[in-house]
Structures are given as structure tokens and as C-alpha cells.
Amino acid sequence: MMIALHKQILWQDESLLVLNKPAGLLTLPDGYDLSAPHVRKLLEPEFGRIWIVHRLDRETSGVLILARSAHAHRHLNTQFDQHRVDKRYHALVVGDPDWQQREIELALRVNGDRRHRTVVDLQRGKPSHTRVRVLERFGRYTLLEAQLLTGRTHQVRAHLAALGHPLAGDLLYGAPGYLLLSELKPGFCPGVKGECAILKRTGLHAFSLALQHPHSGERLEFHAPYPPDMAGAVRQLRRYCQPNPNR
């Protein structure tokens, strides 16, 4: 895993370490499985102490900003708290929205039900704002850009599920299952051992993040290319699925 993480470093200097986090890797230790690998455990032997500035879900890939000094940590935390960081995700969702772009302003309450999901709660939830726009349509699936204007836990997942378009593969928030080639390719028949999913996780990738460098003050923007599973899923959708011409 250490070698793989070296290949995923997008930027490094005395203040910052920017990682294209692989899906399946924790940002911080898991309270239920202390042996599970996480970002700090894998990177600190090589880079020294690292401060976590924000988190990505275990199954989410993409841009993760890490601080390499207490000063950088404080500076970056202030930017996140004041909503001066531009965070954009690419989300593969179930269905074909009847809009091209939309502002989602639904109050969210974290850990709001028995399944520990983030839920829409207009009375007790915190103000939450996600701006979404369609990037590409595939008929039964759609690729969206989601810009977070607030930073609630599972915000993208909860907001899109509330609109009836859960993330592909997001079983917790209502997706019917993982993305399978047999759904897309006419006549495809899995072998006797069954079918492996094209994308066996939630279809969410932190594509870009822009912020001010904590030392130089320069505005920086980082982009993370899709990992192989996300890239492969989009490639297969482009090949086999046609958008609705009436959209």
C-alpha cells in the first residue's frame, strides 16, 4: 500500500501533502478495527507527522489535503470553516435527472436514523447546500459534478438520495445494487462463477479542490484523475448506454 500511495501523491512541499486517495483506504483509524490501514499510518513513517484537515469516506477516491505543520493545519482549518475551499466531486448516480443543474438546499442531520445515515431534517438539521450539474447522461445512469458549499458528513450522498438519484453502488442510501456489465451490454451472460461488478463501491470521486497555500498565499487547484474502477465504469457506460434524446 505504501508504494501505491507514493504513486498517488499529487503535490508535496513543507506545508502540504496532496493525495489522490484510493477507494477502500480510511482517512483516520477505524474505532472498530484498529489494524485497518489508514492515511496517517501509511504516510507518517516517510513524511513525518501529518495533520488531517478534512476526510473522505472509505469508499470515496480523490483529492485529500494533508497538513505537514501545525501552522498549515490551523490555516487550512480556517479556510474550510469559512467555506473558502472549492470542493468538487464527480458522482455517478442512478437515473436520468429531469434537470441540467440544481441547487440542493436541504437541512441535514448527521447520524439521523438507526442505520447511522445523514438524513434530511428540516427542523433539526443543519443548513446544507450542494450545487450539482449534469456532466454526461447514459440513460439509466448520469455523471454529475457536485460542488459542496457546506461540508456535512455524507452530504453528497444524502442530498442526491433525497432527490431520488442515489450514487451508483451506494447501498446504504438506496442504490439497488452495484454496477454490473450485464445491466449495460445486451446479451452479456456472466460465467458459472457469477459476475464481478464493474464498480463495487459508491460512485463518488473527489475530482478537484482549490484553496490558498498556507505559507505563500497562492491560490492552488488540484485535480485527481479517476481510478481504474471509476474510469472503467464510465468507459463502459459510454460504450453501451445511450442518453435519452428528450433530455
Distance, CA of 159 to CA of 109 (rounded, Å) = 11
Q: How many structural domains comprise the chain?
A: 1
Domain-embedded: residue 71: yes
Give the pLDDT band (50/70/90) at residue 247: low
Domain-embedded: residue 167: yes
Q: Does residue 98 carry a catalytic annotation?
A: no
Mean pLDDT in residue range 179-188: 87
Q: According to the model, what pLDDT value does residue 191 have?
A: 64
pLDDT, tens digit, 9 for 90 and up, residues 93-149:
999 999 999 999 999 999 999 999 999 999 999 999 999 999 999 999 999 999 999
CATH number at residue 144: 3.30.2350.10
- Domain containing 142: what range? 2-240
Domain-embedded: residue 246: no
In this predicted structure, the answer to whether residue 246 has a pLDDT above a threshold of 60 is yes
Domain-embedded: residue 200: yes
Catalytic residue among 13, 57, 113, 170: 57
Enter the C-alpha cell of residue 101: 443543474
Distance, CA of 212 to CA of 209 (rounded, Å) = 10
